Chain A
Amino acid sequence: NAGVTQTPKFRVLKTGQSMTLLCAQDMNHEYMYWYRQDPGMGLRLIHYSVGEGTTAKGEVPDGYNVSRLKKQNFLLGLESAAPSQTSVYFCASRLVQETGELFFGEGSRLTVL
């Protein structure tokens, strides 16, 4: 039981390049989330999904796209990376009920030059 796994853990991009972060969970959770955390700051919600095939915008969705084609996977895409997207990205998942706690991955550190 791996929990929430993020791939890759580190990545360096040049401005304008694209990439996809993969989040996989093996807990059969319905809800999945992508957050970003800048140095010394709190977590900001980018996008989230309440089930396979559904996604919704969070607080800071601009510049990102997401897909939830399979229940266990939640992909975060950057079509044209910008230096402002340099951050640590955390994926999380949880069960449906109100008491479902968030389970986080280890994070993916992205640097855009």
Chain B
Amino acid sequence: LAKTTQPISMDSYEGQEVNITCSHNNIATNDYITWYQQFPSQGPRFIIQGYKTKVTNEVASLFIPADRKSSTLSLPRVSLSDTAVYYCLVGDGNTGFQKLVFGTGTRLLVSP
């Protein structure tokens, strides 16, 4: 099982850049890395996905080194509304990308 490990929590201030790293040592060769954001009382929602190197969209960037054993979600200039729990997700090496098990996630608190 491709388990992920993230910091339990992080604190930041408005306007700062936040980098959340996820470790996934046993990621399968064909698996993608996906990050989700969850606000209280809501289901997680997709932020960004990547396979290798760097991916950027309108809300975040995702950095993946060549060995793909980790990934870093980068949130530029965070605001109070970015306070949420962030999960990185990879597939199960045995069932491919069918069985999707979430890790503990990182609770990000953004203060004024």
Contact = CB atoms under 8 A, between A and B. Distances in A.
Contacts of A103: 46
Interface residues of B, number: 27
Contact of B44 (A43, A50, A98): A43
Nearest to B95: A56
Contact of B46 (A35, A44, A101): A101
Contacts of A88: 41
A99 B44 CA distance: 16
B14 interface: no
B43 A48 contact: no
Contact of A48 (B41, B49, B89, B99): B99
Given A98-B32, A102-B36, A107 B42 contact: yes
Top 7 nearest A-B pairs by Cβ distance?
A104-B43, A101-B46, A43-B102, A42-B104, A98-B97, A90-B43, A42-B105
Given A50-B98, A98-B91, 18 more contacts: A4-B43, A42-B103, A43-B44, A45-B101, A45-B102, A56-B98, A58-B99, A58-B101, A90-B44, A98-B32, A98-B97, A99-B32, A99-B49, A102-B46, A103-B46, A104-B43, A104-B45, A106-B43
Interface of B: 30-32, 34, 36, 41-46, 49, 85, 87, 89, 91, 95-105
